[in-house]
Structure 1
Amino acid sequence: MEELMGQFASMQLLNQFWISLFLIIPIVLISRTVVAGTRYSPILIIVIFGLSMGFILVQTGVSEPGLPDFPMINLIAATTIIALVVTFFVGGQELRKIFSKKELTSDEMVTQSMEEAVLGTNRTQLVMIVRAFFLLIGLEGLFRTIVGGGVTSLSEVYALIAYIGLVGAVIFIDNKATITNKPLYIRKGLIEMVVIIVVLFFAFHLASWIEPTVALPQIFFAMLISAGIGAIFYEWSFGPTIKALLFAGIPVVLAGNFMVGGSRIGDAFAIDGMNAVLAYGFFGQLFWMFGGIALLIFFAKTNHVRNLAPGMAGALSHSGLTGACTAGDLGDRAAKRAPIMINIPFFGHVFVFSILALSAEQGSLMTLPAVIIVATGLGLTVLALRNLAGANGDDSTEVKALMQFSFGWQLVAVFGGLVMLSMSAMPFDYGGMAQASAISHFGLFAAIQEGMLGAEAAALIPFIFSMPFLVHPIVFFMFGKAMKSDGLMPIKTVYMLALIGVLGVASGLFFL
């Protein structure tokens, strides 16, 4: 009887697959419907619906904070690194093309079906969204089956989750899309799946191997390996795996994270010191985002989205803006430049994660190294602004200057923010969460999610990280308005938002 009940419990867990599918996919589709016919990104709507869904599930008694009754949602929320591996690969390709001065155009094997399946989403896009869901759970399930994922309610069925996810990913290819070579296209997708698993496997073991010396997270090594592979195979034309994860990987991951974050809204506000964390995260989003844009406009004399969007996506490792760029919401040039800019700052993460890991051990920020890094970042930022101002629209010069800006401003934002937070009464682990949320930093988020700042921070980070996304309607409204104005950002509004950010950050640090 006990064995029968165990089997029944496992079958019930499999139902989580379908529940998760029908909770997450509609959030992504609704977000696309709301912004259909506009130049705004659906990411901002995913924020609202994701947080609302998580909050409602708890308030109606369906689940508890953290959604323990929906382990598959938590599995999706933990797949951040998979979505980023693809972005790093594409960034490595673009970097190789830039440094080798190669202008290559890969053969496009797929012509999308333009038949509208849901308002704002054509058939091919719908299939890619569903395929991204299957890929994320399948690859994560396979990875956990190989390396072991700890004891969870899904531990015994990871292999089955992997099977369902990967088989579903292979099946979900739009039959109405025009594919020049279907067998080759499918093989490319399979190869891409294998490579992603290999990257995750080696990144995991490298992080484990070096952990006694310095606690660098898995995502750091995943970035190095995937970017390196992209640089080697820079002529690789994308198969269905990369296409789906580039288009819908980040939106699906964010939908899962926002649901988990929304479920903790009630509890989080009751935690002592949380108001200061949330205030800094909220206004820090305005400060670091529009402060950086203001610098680009005032000193570099550029207010075009082709520079601002990928530049700030890279400079802040900004999850929402990265998703909008890679999905093509902000134009083709921003879509091509964003993966490059995302990769560049990650090379500085050896400093970020090393200092954060050592600081976490001692319970406070290592101030001197942090200040030195801030000074270095300021120098790179000044150099970048000068070079960008003299680019005169030259694509190669702009890209190189944006690479410098992404690296420099990232160092300033991460460590400048942590230095400011260290001067407040906020504990270090709360400060780390506040800074990750203030710049929507995917790398810091993933590292904290892995437990770099402790179990409490790992549990709270989905909520802390998601709350500043309520500022994203402003962020994406500004970029959407710019897209309507031939890509030109409204200058005075940027300065005003940056000033509000300065005042809000000061209030969050010293008065809450």
Structure 2
Amino acid sequence: MTNLDFLNQFWIIVFFLIPIVLISRTVVAGTRYSPILIVVLFGLAMGFLLEYSGVSDPGLTAFPMVGIMAQTTIIALIASFFVGGQELRKILGRKSLAAKDMVTPADEEVILGTTRTQMFLIVRSLFILLGMYGLMHAIQGTGTPELSSYYPVIAYIGIIGSLILIDNKARITNKPLYLRKGVVELVLLLVVLLISYLIAQLVAPVIALPQIFFAMMVSAAIGAVFYKWTFGPTLRSLLFAGIPIVLAANFLVGGSRIGEAFDIPGVNAVLVYGFFGQLVWMFGGIALLMYFARTSNARNLAPGMAGALSHSGLTGACTAGDFGKTAASRAPIMINIPFFGHIFVFSILAVSAEQGSLWLWPALLLVAIGLGLTVLSLKNLRAAGGEDRREVTSLMQFSFGWQLCAVFGGLAFLYMGPLAIDYAAMAQASAISHFGLFAAIQEGMFGENAALLIPFVFSMPFLVHPLVFYMFGRAMENGGDMPKKPVYIMAFIGLIGVTISLFV
């Protein structure tokens, strides 16, 4: 790659990814629907058009910087894990802190649906993701060989951009402190990335746990220690736009593989299960909360399901505030809780990957534990009576229990079919939009072929997400309460669909 090509690659990600996020906000402007609803459609469409028109080949190998942005999942999630650690400390320690925000955003719209401050947050998040990725791989000596010599430059551009891109029209009570907070947060991001990578490498001979697991543990622990920390520009940007940027990049890559992927043996079964699995695990979980816990409000449903499925789209919508402040504050807690159980998830999956099939009996044991926790959580949530602390505790139990049911129940179900373990893992990751499992497969846990296919497999069931976000949008327009009958119907359709997937 020439120097000019490198500069072109940089501008490509700016003009590919940011417009996808902006147009998604424009389409839903004036409604209570989440922009991620539209990121799905435009990302997949653009990726498909790039390949169909001959601009690039499947996987967008001609645009390696897009591939880089698609691999920054862990960086975007560290911010959520940190906030989750903070919120857990406050909940468990009964600490009620009402910190005054030092930033008053500028509410002037520069693009329909996006204010001036929000525009800065979106652009800055791209630079943060880019800079941290480049710096991490420059220090570790890892990453894409084609771009390895450019990592220091990528890091420099990203970090400088993230430092200077602060809205000058936003009212900041203490600008020097705010800037210092941004620098400290960047340093902490790097520390978490390096420590988690080092630990993952150290334990790899014993158990192949992915880096994202240790990143969650470290960042949540830091958040619990610094629970009084108010957000600087780095965390603020990643929480608002980090996940949408990452998803847009992954949808671009996934969309470019639409044409070729259907010809690969076994992919159709994976896609059918992923599509209907979205219905059964998402709306099945919501149906349980509605029927047994007697709650239909988005303040419980959105963070509960975001945590229970480690659901990438719902996580991004919650942390961006699309479902209200209560859901936004609860979501990081619910996201963190199931990750503590990922030592079991990834341990069993690591053994399964080595032996070429699901390690069945431990998986079934965890399904049983998950069912027990789910039943307990539904009972407790029903008795919570709207009390915040009791609701949060019950949702924590539900997030952990339903995730065990979804991950291992789904894998055990697929075990009855013809899918190999790598395809089954991809199917389950896509069926619940599980960020952790997606990142693990992307890191190569199930081999190079699965790592190449996962952006496509993961993105296709997102076509169900317009339905998911439509239902949550309806809920927000109805005072937070979601309609019940459509949920039950979609859960039933999903159950039929996943059964059919065994015979595809």
Class of the TM-score when normalised by the shorter of the 2 chains: over 0.9
The letter of the residue matching 1:111 is T
Give percent identity, aligned residues only: 66
What does residue 338 of structure 2 align with?
345
Q: What is the alpha-carbon distance in structure 1 between the residues aligned to residue 501 and residue 144 of structure 2?
A: 38
Q: What is the alpha-carbon distance in structure 2 between the residues aligned to residue 206 and residue 10 of structure 1?
A: 35
Alignment of 1:403-422 (within 5 A): 403-422=396-415
Q: What is the alpha-carbon distance in structure 2 between the residues aligned to residue 399 and residue 286 of structure 1?
A: 24
User: Does residue 200 of structure 2 align to residue 200 of structure 1?
Assistant: no
Match of 1:496 among 489, 494, 501: 489
User: Does residue 181 of structure 2 align to residue 188 of structure 1?
Assistant: yes
Q: What is the alpha-carbon distance in structure 2 between the residues aligned to residue 243 and residue 117 of structure 1?
A: 19
Over residues 451-500 of structure 1, what are the superposed CA-to-partner deviations in whole Å (9 max), with x where a residue is unaligned? 00100000000000000100001000000001111111101111000000
Match of 2:74 among 65, 77, 81: 81
User: Does residue 294 of structure 2 align to residue 284 of structure 1?
Assistant: no
Over residues 251-310 of structure 1, what are the superposed CA-to-partner deviations in whole Å (9 max), with x where a residue is unaligned? 000000000000111110110111110000000000000000000011101111000000
State the SS of the aligned residue for 2:146. Answer: coil
What does residue 101 of structure 1 align with?
94
Deviation at 1:149, TM superposition (A): 1.9
Q: What is the alpha-carbon distance in structure 2 between the residues aligned to residue 442 and residue 477 of structure 1?
A: 21
Q: How many residues align structurally?
A: 504
Asked whether the 8 Å contact 1:310–1:334 carries over to 2, the reply is yes
Please report the TM-score for the alignment, with normalisation by the length of structure 1: 0.98
Asked whether the 8 Å contact 1:54–1:260 carries over to 2, the reply is yes
Deviation at 1:19, TM superposition (A): 1.2
CA distance change for structure 1 residues 470 and 151 in 2, over 3 Å: closer, same or farther? closer
What does residue 235 of structure 1 align with?
228
Q: What is the alpha-carbon distance in structure 2 between the residues aligned to residue 153 and residue 38 of structure 1?
A: 43
**Misfit runs of 4+, over 4 Å:** none
The letter of the residue matching 2:372 is G
Deviation at 1:14, TM superposition (A): 2.3
Over residues 91-146 of structure 1, what are the superposed CA-to-partner deviations in whole Å (9 max), with x where a residue is unaligned? 00000000010100122010000100100000000000000000000010000000
User: Does residue 36 of structure 2 align to residue 36 of structure 1?
Assistant: no
User: Does residue 138 of structure 2 align to residue 145 of structure 1?
Assistant: yes
Asked whether the 8 Å contact 1:292–1:312 carries over to 2, the reply is yes
What does residue 316 of structure 2 align with?
323
Q: What is the alpha-carbon distance in structure 1 between the residues aligned to residue 7 and residue 216 of structure 2?
A: 32
What does residue 132 of structure 1 align with?
125
Deviation at 1:424, TM superposition (A): 0.4
What does residue 223 of structure 1 align with?
216
What does residue 252 of structure 1 align with?
245
The letter of the residue matching 1:211 is A
Deviation at 1:27, TM superposition (A): 0.2
Asked whether the 8 Å contact 1:313–1:322 carries over to 2, the reply is yes
User: Does residue 47 of structure 2 align to residue 54 of structure 1?
Assistant: yes
User: Does residue 428 of structure 2 align to residue 435 of structure 1?
Assistant: yes
The letter of the residue matching 2:130 is I
Deviation at 1:151, TM superposition (A): 4.3
Please report the TM-score for the alignment, with normalisation by the length of structure 2: 0.99
Alignment of 1:467-482 (within 5 A): 467-482=460-475
Q: What is the alpha-carbon distance in structure 1 between the residues aligned to residue 77 and residue 454 of structure 2?
A: 18
Which range is displaced more, 57-66 or 121-130? 57-66
What does residue 302 of structure 2 align with?
309
State the SS of the aligned residue for 1:66. Answer: coil
State the SS of the aligned residue for 2:145. Answer: coil
Deviation at 1:188, TM superposition (A): 0.2
Match of 2:375 among 370, 382, 385: 382
State the SS of the aligned residue for 1:117. Answer: strand
Unaligned runs of 5+ in 1: 1-5
Q: What is the alpha-carbon distance in structure 1 between the residues aligned to residue 165 and residue 211 of structure 2?
A: 29
What does residue 292 of structure 2 align with?
299
Asked whether the 8 Å contact 1:10–1:157 carries over to 2, the reply is no
Deviation at 1:44, TM superposition (A): 1.3
Q: What is the alpha-carbon distance in structure 2 between the residues aligned to residue 63 and residue 386 of structure 1?
A: 53
Give me the CA root mean square deviation. 0.7
